[in-house]
Structure 1
Amino acid sequence: MKKYTIKDIAELAGVSKGTVDRVIHKRGKVSQKALDKVTKILGEIDYQPNPIARNLKNNKVYQIFVVLPDPKEDNFWAPCVEGVNQAVEEFRSFLVDIRLFFYKPTSTASFKEVNKKVLELEPDAVLLSPLFHKESISAVNNYRSAGIVVSTFNSQIVLEEAINYVGLDLYQSGRVAAKLMHTIVPDTHDIVICHFDETLNNAIHMQQKEKGFRDYFSELDGADYTILTLSVDQTNPDLSLVNFLKSQDKAFGFFVTTSKSYNLVEMLQGQRQKNIKVIGYDLLDENIDLLKKDMISFLIHQSPRTQTYLGLTYLIEHFLFNKEMPNKKLLPIGIVNSENLITYL
């Protein structure tokens, strides 16, 4: 059987080699007429590319950039860097250039500046943590307009066209937290959904968790819980919590929608009885220490290292081996307490 080259296909279809390359690799813009011609020829010859040989022959170095919050400012993101390093090590012998770009986790201006810089560098793909919803939609649209493949992790954004996502089902994780809270808090008490960090109306990941949490309790029959929401003022978090507790003396369970459970526990010290129940996210050292002391009841593990490792691997294999990326890869929702913690460390 004849081995067809891109040059052969271009001559048969009456188009340029560049057009054939864009069709085969599904990147860049191609007219519908050219797409139909090339697709017809590919079907007739049953073209099967050799992705490794193609990559080496063309001497093409694929640039994949990772954009995430600076782990020096929020150590939740440190395992994400480890996941990137793991992927770099595994694909070291291939022509792949992987770079990290950090933005300030509390600054939309920093997020926009970093993504603007990445866009100007014109990589083949971007793995993005879309912490700020509105700005992320704009960044993704800019990348796509430039023919850059985009995949997201940790937080999912909703666009008219699907975008690849690796991470938890955040809505379902909120329901899991609610189920756990239901088992440890009597229904005569109030439960507080506590938001730290980003502005709530621009943080879709916190909104999804809260919605899942509230939906669970709204579907309970005969339960008498009052669910409250507290967005902690980052300029004076202690004062905002003290004022809240003074007005809500029945608050007994606290669901923290970010990795900042340890901040809440620290602020609660001396404010209330010691048997307040706290459920939060992520195996930060501070949270682990409080989990061991039963000052945090449960932590939901979001597997940040695995998120970046898988997100990068899917992109790399898409370019190197022409593998199709999953539209959505949902990771298991890990429930961690003081008894099973050792199995997660």
Structure 2
Amino acid sequence: MAKTKIRIKDIAEQAGVSVGTVDRVLHNRGEVAIETKKKILEIAKANNYQPNLIARALTSKKVCVFAALLPNPTEEDIFWIKPLNGISEAALELEQFHIKVEKHFFTHYNEEDFVKQTKNILKLKPAGVVFPPIFKKESLEFIEKLEKRGIPYVFLESRIKDCNYLAYVGSDSNHAGRVAANVVDNSTPIDGDILIINLAKNLENVHHLKKRTQGFLNYFMEHGRNKGLKINIEIPTSKSQIITEKVDHILSTHKNIKAIFITGSKVYKIAEYLIKNKLEDIVLVGFDPIEQNIKYLNRGTIKYLIGQHPYQQGFKAVKKLFEHVMLHNSVKKDEVLPVNIINRESFKLYGLEISIDQ
């Protein structure tokens, strides 16, 4: 027969004290005589007393504020709507526990705006923070300040391993780059050149794109079948005119490019260029089944997209903070989500999966 779970009332009767005294001891509130406190704790330990933390969180009147910091989900950076939706849904579920998630946004690939928003978050004094460490240098500065204040933080989209983060939810950027490399390798002539485009300025500081690029190149150095050149360029803006100038120059000097790999989600920008210049025989691969990319995937201009469950990243990141801060549960430090290879035939199924998740 299962052992009856002991209650605070039972501990009070065994210790010969009031329920209020036991509550003060177990929840570390108020002054209690040392001997009485020792006796209560011994009884609780002997009976394996476990406080009902969920009930306590439900009855608590104190509002717990988390902060989320994300790139502004503009039409050009629509990818970030997905993790934002996940964060919002988790916040809605946790409202009953008096959880509030304050959302802060910075201009994508703008380090100064990122730093500005981190300062606003520190003024807020949140109980926890969720953010993607897109800029390594600025993220490390933010992390140092969070750790000094004892504020736990959860990464999404990418992670910086050499710091004391509470948890990470997302794909492995290096592995995602290797998956993309495998797809390109099997879709490109063995002697064809491959162009890698990073639509970002200062790639060295853009953590996840740098890791994807490294993974992509490492795959070919280790066991890729393709023996062509791997040409790596940065385009610091997604403006069509600048993209045209940069890609025109590369294609005029490298006549054997048979595939293009985009390390981020703005694959549609290159698809538009290929269509305009009648170069749709080039294999185009990149990240994320956002609406603009799906349009060109369906047309066949984009051959493959790598999906990484952004909605789940946002949703699970907030839930991990709640588990740690409110329920004092241990959480899995690295929850690495699988990546999906999406083609013209499978994107509708993936879209159905997204609608179910949301």
> Structure 1-normalised TM-score?
0.86
- Compute the displacement of 1:274 (Å): 2.5
Q: Report Cα offsets for 1:279-305 as digits up to 9, x if no partner.
A: 000111110010001100100012111
**What residue is the counterpart of 2:66 in the other structure?**
64
- Compute the displacement of 1:46 (Å): 4.7
1:225 to 206, 218, 228: 228
**What residue is the counterpart of 1:259 in the other structure?**
265
**What residue is the counterpart of 1:249 in the other structure?**
255
Residues 1:156 and 2:159 aligned together: yes
- C-alpha separation in 2, matches of 1:341 and 1:90: 29
Q: Report Cα offsets for 1:192-231 as digits up to 9, x if no partner.
A: 1110024201011111111111111112276422211011
Residue type at the aligned position of 1:53: A
Q: Report Cα offsets for 1:164-186 as digits up to 9, x if no partner.
A: 11100111111111111111101
Contact 1:172 / 1:209 at 8 angstroms: preserved in 2? yes
**What residue is the counterpart of 2:219 in the other structure?**
216
Instruction: Label 1:51 to 1:230 Cα distance change in 2 as closer, same or farther (>3 A).
Output: same
Residues 1:5 and 2:5 aligned together: no
Residues 1:281 and 2:287 aligned together: yes
1:139 to 124, 137, 142: 142
**What residue is the counterpart of 1:21 in the other structure?**
none
- C-alpha separation in 1, matches of 2:44 and 2:234: 56
Instruction: Label 1:58 to 1:181 Cα distance change in 2 as closer, same or farther (>3 A).
Output: same
Q: Report Cα offsets for 1:255-312 as digits up to 9, x if no partner.
A: 1000011111212334463300000001111100100011001000121111000111
**What residue is the counterpart of 1:25 in the other structure?**
none
Residue type at the aligned position of 1:335: I
- C-alpha separation in 2, matches of 1:6 and 1:271: 74
SS at match of 1:326: coil
Instruction: Label 1:229 to 1:56 Cα distance change in 2 as closer, same or farther (>3 A).
Output: same
- Compute the displacement of 1:43 (Å): 6.3
- Compute the displacement of 1:163 (Å): 4.3
* Structure 1 residue runs without a partner (length 5+): 18-38
Contact 1:13 / 1:41 at 8 angstroms: preserved in 2? no
- C-alpha separation in 2, matches of 1:40 and 1:137: 44
- C-alpha separation in 1, matches of 2:189 and 2:167: 40
Task: Note the 1:85-124 alignment, pairs <5 A.
Answer: 85-124=88-127
Residue type at the aligned position of 2:212: K
Contact 1:151 / 1:165 at 8 angstroms: preserved in 2? yes
**What residue is the counterpart of 1:54 in the other structure?**
56
> Structure 2-normalised TM-score?
0.83
- C-alpha separation in 2, matches of 1:184 and 1:9: 61
Instruction: Label 1:63 to 1:272 Cα distance change in 2 as closer, same or farther (>3 A).
Output: same
**What residue is the counterpart of 1:344 in the other structure?**
350
- Compute the displacement of 1:69 (Å): 0.5
Sequence identity of aligned pairs in percent? 28
SS at match of 1:322: coil
- C-alpha separation in 2, matches of 1:50 and 1:193: 53
**What residue is the counterpart of 1:188 in the other structure?**
191
**What residue is the counterpart of 1:293 in the other structure?**
299
Aligned CA RMSD, in angstroms, stands at 2.5
SS at match of 2:326: helix
**What residue is the counterpart of 2:84 in the other structure?**
81
Q: Report Cα offsets for 1:324-345 as digits up to 9, x if no partner.
A: 1211111111110010111111
Contact 2:185 / 2:224 at 8 angstroms: preserved in 1? no
Higher mean C-alpha deviation, range 313-322 or range 176-185:
313-322
- C-alpha separation in 2, matches of 1:161 and 1:127: 14
Contact 1:232 / 1:241 at 8 angstroms: preserved in 2? no
- C-alpha separation in 2, matches of 1:328 and 1:94: 25
SS at match of 1:184: coil
Residue type at the aligned position of 2:323: E
Instruction: Label 1:320 to 1:8 Cα distance change in 2 as closer, same or farther (>3 A).
Output: closer
- Compute the displacement of 1:8 (Å): 5.4
- C-alpha separation in 2, matches of 1:221 and 1:87: 41
- C-alpha separation in 1, matches of 2:86 and 2:279: 40
Higher mean C-alpha deviation, range 233-242 or range 124-133:
233-242
Higher mean C-alpha deviation, range 60-69 or range 73-82:
73-82
**What residue is the counterpart of 2:200 in the other structure?**
197
Instruction: Label 1:43 to 1:152 Cα distance change in 2 as closer, same or farther (>3 A).
Output: farther
